[in-house]
Amino acid sequence: MNLEGMRVMGIDPGLTRCGLSVVQAGRGRGVLPVSVGVVRTPSDVDLSERLLRISKAVGEWMDDYRPDVVAIERLFERGNVSTVIFTAHAVGVLILAAAERGIPVHHYTPSEVKKAISGNGRADKKQMTVMVTRILGLSEPPKPADAADALALAICHCWRAPTIARTRQAQERAAAKQRELAEIAKTHRNV
């Protein structure tokens, strides 16, 4: 399945630092960097204002770069429940921004991204940054880590998108076949 030219926005969600990236799928496993950055919100500002700032920044990125899909890190509890809750607030705002624009969102766990990018689901930040830099042919590593993580998420989706598309097509064909069989069965009962 050829998805060449597909634009993917990768988002490493966070309330203090939210990594944003946009890449474009090339030929085969080629991925071209488009943009990368970080949205920062000060911790001394009210939560609602911080979420509004993130929402506006992400919305501007989506409007400027027009991604076809968003890849975002799936949240999981790492021991500090309050941090996860605040990050979950940010994730909600990010998903809403995509939904308002009709952009589908795919979620990936950190280990899924690490395995896709480095072949090792337990790769450390340094290994991931080296791989992202190499894959995208960057002259220097993206900084901070949130930016590199956002790029890794986007690359991961570029590489998984063909499989996702084939699976969706197979499911659609199976559902169509089921409807067809149900119609045949209904017709035979009425005879």
Q: Check if 12 is active-site.
A: yes
Options 68, 146, 149, 180, the catalytic residue: 146
Residue (of 108, 97, 37, 103) closest to 75 by Cα position: 108
Active site residue 64: no
31 class by beta-carbon count within 10 Å (0-12 exposed, 13-18 middle, 19+ buried) = buried
Annotated binding site for Mg(2+): 12, 73, 146
Residue 43's contacts (CB-CB under 8 Å, 6 or more residues apart) are 16
CA distance 29 to 33: 13
Q: Which of 49, 73, 149, 183 is catalytic?
A: 73
63 is catalytic: no
Question: Residues forming the annotated binding site?
Answer: 12, 73, 146
69 pairs with which residues across the strands?
A: 8
Residues annotated as part of the active site:
12, 73, 146
